[in-house]
Amino acid sequence: MNAVMLDSLVTCPTAATAPTPSGVIEQKIAVLAAMRQLLGGLVQQCDAVDGGTVCLIIDVLARE
């Protein structure tokens, strides 16, 4: 089966090359796991601050 050609630069994926629903879910899980690890590190840094240091999470949120 060949890909459907929409124009000279863009083609639709075939069934063989299209991402599977489980593959998309696995990618999203990997992104969420990375975010969880990053945020966990920030929380640990905030827990470890001495009285004079600003928590990085609060500092970033305050700038927005």
The per-residue pLDDT for 49 is 62
Q: What is the pLDDT of residue 1?
A: 47
Give the chain's length. 64
Instruction: Count helices and strands (H / E) in the chain.
Output: 2, 0
Predicted pLDDT of residue 55: 73
Q: Tens digit of pLDDT per residue, the chain (64 long)?
A: 455 555 556 666 666 666 788 888 999 999 999 999 988 887 777 776 665 556 767 777 777 6
User: CA 52, CA 31: separation in Å to the nearest integer?
Assistant: 33
